[in-house]
């Protein structure tokens, strides 16, 4: 510093002013950056959680914040390009044209849609039922697909094609979610790759760099000690198990493989039972929801929520059974956790698929020529997209009710009993553990519902944003006041990557029902922006036909096999190039590792 001050004395006034201004600007920018951290959502709360409970639990709350931001951006996208133009047009602020049904090959019966909007005198609890089921008043609002009947909005001389915008907004929110998840998962993948590269390196990382210096709470420090001890014990146990596996006789191998095959058959039977139960519950609910006396409020609501209740029970029972069965399969502890989670993820996401399949089977039920005029069961489902949107809405609401009910009716009473009663049975149950993996599965399940349901209910992301915002505080209260952290926590570096991989699986699976609804199932002729088209996808070629001839030829050329085949070959060549590059780097990496070993023994080297 003295040397720099001496140098400054010999500088000109201009250079002194320039250096002083540069320092002042850096200081101002640093202060602004510090202040901007207060604008980041839940920054202080997440830092506080990290200090008290470590980075593993902190990564879950950061993941929850990411989903709040993602859903908020999806809501802004859908509202700006779909909902706002429709609302403005319906109130006559802009000129608009209504989608007119072409009379060719379409009977008048296909265009009849009379939603029950509770006209006249109704019971007061009917509005509560509508709020929970998305029927009545809510059915005719901008929350659901059937509200969007505008074909085009004219802004001055520019024509805004709402059906095309609706489809593009759907593709945009799916693409945005995919790119954002991949971008966030890259850093986690690198950490996991380094961690899994060398067992010895992993051991050294735990011993010399395993401490979490963000911890400020003594109880959290004790928890971190237990966590490190458990990880070291797990590593030693896995090494022993690997040695035991290597020494197995042929008879022992035959026994364990037979047992695993038998247990997997049981797992398949459990999955089949869950799927069949959901299918029957959905069919029963759809067939009887309109037949139940509306005056019997509770029964009517139970029938409408029957598929959601069965799905929650199937998720809960199957996860307990999978955790019990995995203990007999003789896997390593880390693989046990991964396999159980994979099974739980599959059953949760597959249950949503079965629900949609059950709905589609009812929509496409063409017995006795029910679908002949319209291509779908128009008598029971005149606006089937709204019906699917209502099911997704009910799943979203019921999922939130279950999470809230667990806090109020399970966690708080259990904490009270453990704290105030010394009964051995109560103390044996103990406090509820804050399971990070189970909590992640809950919100990934809810997010998958949101991705699927946004096409049928464009404002569903707004509900998801509010839901996850409240869940953050529910989980925070649950963590601090009613639960204790897991005795065997998930590693923070791998947990971030795991959360995003599970979320990516949910996103990829959500592509299937949305894609099938757009490309395969006939669109409703009585509601929605696509009622002029046989399927929602037909709006794309119809819109392209209105483009200039040169642009039409370019787009149709890009969609042809003459473009697709060379493009696929080029992508394969680029992929093989990067694979070859990675293989070429492997010997260099091994050589550098050997040199690092030599440095330990010969500092001069």
Say if residues 143 and 75 touch (Cβ distance below 8 Å). no
Predicted pLDDT of residue 103: 45
User: Residue 497: beta bridge partners?
Assistant: none
Residue extents of the structural domains in the chain: 12-41, 42-208+251-559, 560-604
HEC profile of 263-326: HHHHHHHHHHHHHHHHHHHHHHHHHHCCCCCCCCHHHHHHHHCHHHHHHHHHHHHHHHHHHHHH
Predicted pLDDT of residue 558: 80
Say if residues 418 and 431 touch (Cβ distance below 8 Å). yes
Cα–Cα distance measured from residue 408 to residue 405, given in angstroms and rounded to the nearest whole number: 5
Say if residues 475 and 405 touch (Cβ distance below 8 Å). no
Going by their DSSP bridges, the two strands 95-98 and 150-155 should be labelled as antiparallel
Which residues in the chain show pLDDT less than 70? 36-38, 54, 92-107, 116-125, 156, 188-202, 289-297, 333-334, 366-372, 485-495, 603-605
Say if residues 348 and 508 touch (Cβ distance below 8 Å). no
Say if residues 492 and 422 touch (Cβ distance below 8 Å). no
Using DSSP's 3-state secondary structure scheme, residue 153 falls into strand
Per DSSP, 408 falls in state I
pLDDT in tens, 253-310: 898 889 989 999 999 999 899 899 988 888 888 777 666 555 566 777 788 888 888 9
Cα–Cα distance measured from residue 403 to residue 440, given in angstroms and rounded to the nearest whole number: 12
Cα–Cα distance measured from residue 89 to residue 85, given in angstroms and rounded to the nearest whole number: 6
**DSSP states of 51-113 as a string?**
HHH-HHHHHHHHHHHHHHHHHHHHHHHHIIIIIHHHHHHHTTSSEEEEPPPP-TT--GGGG--
Predicted pLDDT of residue 605: 60
């Amino acid at each position: 510093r003295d040397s720099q001050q001496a140098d400054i004395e010999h500088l000109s006034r201009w250079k002194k002013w320039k250096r002083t201004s540069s320092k002042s600007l850096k200081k101002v920018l640093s202060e602004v950056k510090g202040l901007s951290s207060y604008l980041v959502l839940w920054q202080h709360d997440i830092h506080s959680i990290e200090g008290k409970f470590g980075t593993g639990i902190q990564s879950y709350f950061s993941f929850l914040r990411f989903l709040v931001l993602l859903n908020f951006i999806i809501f802004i996208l859908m509202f700006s390009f779909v909902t706002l133009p429709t609302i403005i047009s319906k109130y006559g602020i802009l000129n608009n044209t209504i989608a007119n049904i072409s009379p060719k090959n379409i009977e008048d019966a296909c265009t009849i849609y009379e939603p029950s909007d509770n006209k006249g005198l109704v019971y007061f609890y009917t509005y509560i039922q509508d709020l929970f089921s998305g029927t009545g008043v809510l059915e005719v609002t901008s929350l659901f697909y059937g509200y969007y009947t505008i074909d085009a909005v004219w802004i001055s001389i520019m024509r805004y094609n709402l059906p095309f915008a609706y489809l593009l907004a759907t593709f945009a929110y799916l693409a945005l979610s995919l790119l954002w998840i991949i971008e966030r998962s890259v850093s986690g993948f690198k950490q996991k790759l380094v961690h899994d590269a060398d067992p010895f390196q992993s051991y050294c990382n735990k011993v010399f760099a395993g401490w979490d210096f963000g911890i400020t709470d003594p109880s959290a420090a004790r928890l971190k000690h237990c966590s490190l001890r458990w990880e070291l014990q797990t590593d030693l146990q896995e090494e022993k198990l690997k040695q035991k596996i290597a020494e197995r006789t042929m008879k022992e191998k035959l026994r364990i493989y037979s047992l695993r095959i038998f247990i997997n058959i049981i797992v398949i039977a459990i999955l089949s039972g869950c799927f069949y139960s959901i299918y029957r519950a959905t069919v029963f609910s759809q067939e009887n929801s309109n037949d139940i006396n509306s005056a019997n409020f509770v029964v009517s609501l139970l029938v409408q929520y029957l598929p959601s209740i069965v799905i929650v029970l199937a998720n809960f029972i199957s996860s307990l059974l999978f955790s019990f069965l995995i203990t007999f399969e003789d896997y390593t502890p880390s693989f046990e956790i991964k396999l159980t989670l994979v099974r739980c993820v599959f059953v949760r996401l597959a249950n949503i698929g079965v629900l949609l399949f059950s709905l589609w089977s009812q929509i496409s039920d063409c017995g006795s020529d029910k679908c002949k005029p319209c291509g779908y069961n128009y008598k029971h489902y005149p606006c089937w997209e709204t019906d699917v949107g209502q099911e997704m809405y009910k799943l979203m609401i019921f999922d939130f009710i279950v999470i809230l009910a667990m806090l109020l009716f399970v966690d708080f009473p259990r904490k009270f009993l453990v704290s105030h009663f010394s009964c051995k049975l109560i103390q044996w149950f103990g406090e509820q553990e804050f399971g990070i993996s189970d909590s992640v599965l809950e919100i990934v399940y809810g997010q998958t519902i949101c991705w699927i349901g946004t096409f049928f209910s464009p404002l569903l992301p707004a509900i998801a944003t509010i839901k996850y915002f409240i869940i953050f505080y529910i989980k925070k209260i649950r963590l601090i006041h009613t639960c204790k952290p897991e005795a065997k926590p998930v590693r923070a570096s791998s947990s971030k990557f795991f959360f995003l991989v599970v979320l990516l699986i949910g996103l990829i699976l959500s592509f299937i029902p949305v894609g099938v609804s757009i490309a395969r199932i006939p669109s409703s002729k009585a509601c929605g922006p696509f009622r002029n088209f046989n399927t929602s996808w037909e709006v794309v070629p119809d819109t392209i036909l209105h483009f200039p001839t040169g642009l039409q030829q370019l787009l149709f050329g890009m969609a042809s096999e003459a473009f697709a085949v060379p493009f696929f070959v080029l992508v394969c060549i680029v992929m093989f190039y990067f694979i070859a590059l990675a293989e070429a780097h492997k010997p260099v990496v091994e050589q550098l590792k050997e040199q690092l070993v030599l440095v330990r023994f010969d500092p001069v080297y």
